[in-house]
Amino acid sequence: MLEAHSLTRVFGSTTVLDDVSFTVTPGRFTGFVGANGAGKTTSMRILMGVLAATSGSVTWDGAPITAEVRRTFGYMPEERGLYPRMKLRDQLVFFARLHGLSTSDAGERADGLLGHFGLTDRADDLLDELSLGNQQRVQIAAALVHRPSALVLDEPFSGLDPIAVESMTDLLRTEAADLPLLFSSHQLDLVERLCDDLVVLSGGRVVAAGSVTELRSRGAERYRVVLDGQDAAWLRDVRGLTVDDVDGPTALVTLDTMPPAELVAAAVARGPVLEVARVQQPLSEIFREVSR
C-alpha cells in the first residue's frame, strides 16, 4: 500500500500542494483527477522521489518509503522521455537492467512487451522513427519492463486512440492486477470506466477521495420516474421529495425523507409506470461540484 501523508510543496511563495493525503491500494486502480495546475504531477513526482516535499511523508506498507523501494516502481512522467536515437529493444533492456534485471530476463521482458503492442518487427527501429502513439506504447512498456511493485503513471492515455487505450488497459489489467496503481487523467469517462478509487485534487488540496461507487452515491438520492402516458407534474405535490425536473411523463426527483419503496408505491398507485431508476451521479458532475 502506497500512502501520501499531508504532502505540502511550496515553490517560492506559491503553495502548489497543501496537506495532500491519499492512499493507493494494491489491486485497485486509483484515478487522480483535477484541473490543470491542481498539483497532480507535483504529487506524483514527490511519490517517485524526483522532487522533495516541503513537508509531509510517503509510506510504503506503513513504513517510510526508501529510495530502494521507489526504484522498484514503474513511472511514466508527464513529460515523456526516452532515448530518441536508441533502438526499442535495446532501450527496454537498458531500463530493465537499471532496475536490476539480468540481461537475459530483461531481453525476455522486452520481447514480451513489444509483442503485446505489436511492435515485434520494429524492435530494432529507433524510437524517433515511430509514430507518437507507438512511442507512447514504448513509454508504458519502459515503465512495466522490470515487473514493478507499484505504478505511478502521469496521463498514460493522453494522445492515444480508443484502440490503443484498450490495448494499454488490457496490459495494465494483467500486469498490474495486484499492484497499487495510480494514474492521472483528464479523460473523466475513461477514469469512470477504469478506476476503482478516485482522488480529486483542486488548487493543491484533496477535495474528494474514496471508491468511485462511494463518491457517486454521495449526497442526495436521485431517481428518474417514467410514467406511461400521464403527465408527471403531480409528483410536485407529493411530500418527502423534491422534483428537479419534469418533462411530460418523465420526472427527475430527489428523495428528501421518503424511502425509495414508497416512491414506487405512490407512482404505481396513480397509474401504469414504465421505470423508476436510481440516477448515478456522473463523475463529471462530482468533479465539477468538488472543484468549485
Partner 1 sequence: MSDTKDHTKEKTQDHTGDQRSDLWKVVAQREISTQLRSKSFLVSGAVLVLGLVAMVVVLTLTQGHETTYDVAVLDETGTSAVELGDDLADEIDDGTKLEAEQYDDAEAAEAAVRDGDVDAALLPVAGDVGDDSDDSWEVLGDDEVDTTVSGALSSALSTVVTTANADAQGVDLAALSQGAQVQERLLDPDAEDRGLRQVASFVFVLLFYITALGFGMQIAATVTQEKESRVVEILAAALPIRALLWGKVIGTSVLAIGQTVVLALVGVGALLVTGNGDALTILGPAILWYVLFFVIGFVALASFWSVAGSLAGRQQDLQATTAPLQLILFAPYIVAVTAGEGVKTIVSMLPIVSTMMMPSRLAEGDVPLWQLGVAILTTLVAAVLLVRLAARVYERTLLQTGRRISFGEAFRSRSDA
Residues near partner 1, by CB under 8 A: 45, 48-52, 54, 67-73, 75, 77, 79-84, 86, 90, 94-95, 97-100, 142-143, 146-147, 149, 178-179
Q: Which is nearer to partner 1, 40 or 70 (CB)?
A: 70
State in angstroms the smallest separation of the CB of 285 from partner 1. 34
Q: How far apart are CA 257 and CA 190, in angstroms?
A: 34
Would you call 207 helix, strand, or coil by DSSP?
Answer: strand
SS3 content of the chain, % helix, strand, coil (to 5): 35, 30, 35
CB 252 within 8 A of CB 244: yes
Q: Which is nearer to partner 1, 141 or 200 (CB)?
A: 141
Could you say which DSSP state residue 209 is in?
A: E
Q: Which is nearer to partner 1, 11 or 284 (CB)?
A: 11
Q: How far apart are CA 79 and CA 77, in angstroms?
A: 5
Would you call 29 helix, strand, or coil by DSSP?
Answer: strand
State in angstroms the smallest separation of the CB of 100 from partner 1. 4
Q: Which is nearer to partner 1, 45 or 222 (CB)?
A: 45
State in angstroms the smallest separation of the CB of 289 from partner 1. 34
Q: Which is nearer to partner 1, 95 or 117 (CB)?
A: 95
State in angstroms the smallest separation of the CB of 238 from partner 1. 55
Question: What are the distances in angstroms from CA 242 to CA 220, 233, 235, 247, 249?
Answer: 11, 12, 9, 15, 16
Q: Which is nearer to partner 1, 180 or 249 (CB)?
A: 180
Q: Which is nearer to partner 1, 90 or 221 (CB)?
A: 90
State in angstroms the smallest separation of the CB of 13 from partner 1. 13
- AA identity, residue 280: Q
Hey, which bits of 43-162 come out as E strands? Answer: 55-60, 63-64, 74-76, 151-154
Question: What are the distances in angstroms from CA 261 to CA 44, 70, 265, 278?
Answer: 45, 51, 6, 12
Q: How far apart are CA 21 and CA 19, in angstroms?
A: 6
State in angstroms the smallest separation of the CB of 75 from partner 1. 5
Distance linking the first and last C-alpha atoms of the chain: 30
State in angstroms the smallest separation of the CB of 14 from partner 1. 13
